[in-house]
Amino acid sequence: MEKSKRILFLTLLCGLFAACTPQADASTSEADSHASETAPGNVPALTFNADTCYAFVQAQTQFGARVPNTTAHVACGNYLVQTLQRYGAHVIEQKANLTAYNGTVLQSRNIIASWNVNTPNRIFLCAHWDSRPTCDEDPNPANHNQSVMGANDGASGVAVLLEIARLVAQKQPAIGLDIILFDSEDYGNSDVEHSFCLGSQYWGRNPHVRPYQARFGILLDMVGGKNPVFAKDQVSMYFAADVANMVWDKAAQLGYGNLFVANQGGGVIDDHYYVNLLTGIPCIDIIHYQNGSGFPETWHTTQDVLENIDKNTLHAVGTVVTHVLYELK
C-alpha cells in the first residue's frame, strides 16, 4: 500500500480505537514499546509485529510456489520445521503419501509445533502451507498452467503463526499451544468432493498424539490481502459458534470491527470443516470470504504475490489471535 493510503487507512482504524496504537513500521523494539499502552490485565504482554510477519510471507514466497512434489515444497517445509524449532517448539512431522483426485501421489508433510506439550488445557492454531498447482481462476486461460505463488493463499496464514511462535518463544502463554501447518490443502478440483484439504483430512483421522485434546482451534486462510472482509462462515457457526463469537467480539473490542464483519459468510469447505467433522474439536476459520464477492480477487490467479500483501491485514488478524491466545487461562 502506498504511504498516503496507509496513513488514511490507519487514520480510519485509529478513529475506532479508544487509545490509538498505530502499527510499528520501523523495528521490533518500537513495536514492543507499544505493549504497555493499553490497559493492564487485558492485553498480551507482547505486540504482534507486522514487519516480522511480512518477512515470514516473503521468506516462503522466495522458495517459489510450494506445490507438493517440488523441490521448493521440500525446501520450504525444512525452513518451517527449523524456524518452529528455533522458537522452542517440539515439532512432529507427519509424512504421508496422499492420493489426489487425479491419481497423483502427493508426498505430503503436516508440520505440528507444540509448546507446553503435557497440558490438555490447550488450543491449536492452523493454516495450510502448500500452494496450488494451477492458477485456474486467472482471467487469462493461458496462465492456468502456472502454479499459484500463494503469498496470501497459504503463506499469509503461516506467517501469522510464525510471528506468534516468535512471541511464544519470548513469553509462554498460560495455556498449551499447537501450531498445525497442514499440507496438500490446495491440490483439489472443485468438481470432486473431498479433493481439497488432504492434509487436514489425514490429520483428522491420524492425530499426531492420541488422544489429542484441545479446547478449540482457529484456522487462518488468506489473512494478508488488500481490502479484506472476514465474515463468520456457516461451517464455523455450525460447529463452533461460541469460538467465532468470542473471536469476532475480541476483534471489535480491538477496533477491527470494520474487517471482522457481523454478517455471515457463505459455507466454506476448508481445513476447519474436516477438523470439526473428524475430531469433534470446535474449529473456526478466519478467511477472506464474503457472500457476493467471494474470495479475494487474486485468489488462484497469478496476482497472488507478495506485492498484493497488505501488512495492515496481517497486523489486524495477528493482533486479534495474539490477544485470544494470551488472554486464555
Encoded one letter per residue, x for contact with Zn ion by CB under 5 A and - for no contact, window 75-114 reads: ----------------------------------------
Cα 172 from Cα 227, distance rounded (Å): 32
Q: Which stretches of the chain are DSSP H helices?
A: 3-16, 28-33, 50-61, 71-86, 157-170, 198-205, 234-253, 271-279, 311-327
Q: Could you tell me which stretch among 134-142, 172-180, 252-260, 264-272 binds ligand AHN (CB under 6 A)?
A: 264-272
Q: What is the dihedral of CA 148, 313, 257, 243, to 10 degrees?
A: 60
Q: Binder to ligand AHN among 51, 138, 163, 221 (CB under 6 A)? A: 221
Binding of residue 186 to Zn ion (CB under 5 A): yes
Task: Please report whether residue 138 would count as binding Zn ion according to CB under 5 A.
Answer: no
Give the one entry of Zn ion, ligand AHN, none that residue 270 binds, where binding means its C-beta sits below a cut-off of 5 to 8 angstroms depending on kind.
ligand AHN
Q: How far is the CB of 221 from Zn ion (least distance, A)?
A: 8
DSSP 224-244: S-SS--EEE-HHHHHHHHHHH
Does residue number 130 form part of the binding site for ligand AHN (CB under 6 A)? no
The answer to whether residue 306 forms part of the interface with ligand AHN (CB under 6 A) is no
Angstrom distance (rounded) from CA 56 to CA 54: 5
Q: Is residue 87 a contact point for ligand AHN (CB under 6 A)?
A: no
Q: Alpha-carbon distance 213 to 211, whole Å?
A: 6
Regarding 221 and contact with Zn ion (CB under 5 A), the answer is no
Do residues 219 and 103 lie in contact, with contact meaning Cβ atoms separated by under 8 Å?
A: no
* Cell representation of residue 126: 492452523
Is the CB of residue 312 less than 8 Å from the CB of residue 23?
Answer: yes
In the bound state with ligand AHN, the residue whose beta carbon lies nearer, of 138 and 270, is: 270
CB of 271: closest distance to ligand AHN in angstroms? 8
Q: Is 124 helix (H, G, I), strand (E, B) or coil?
A: strand
CB of 43 vs Zn ion, minimal distance in Å: 33
| Contact set with ligand AHN (CB under 6 A) | 153, 186, 190, 196, 221, 268-270
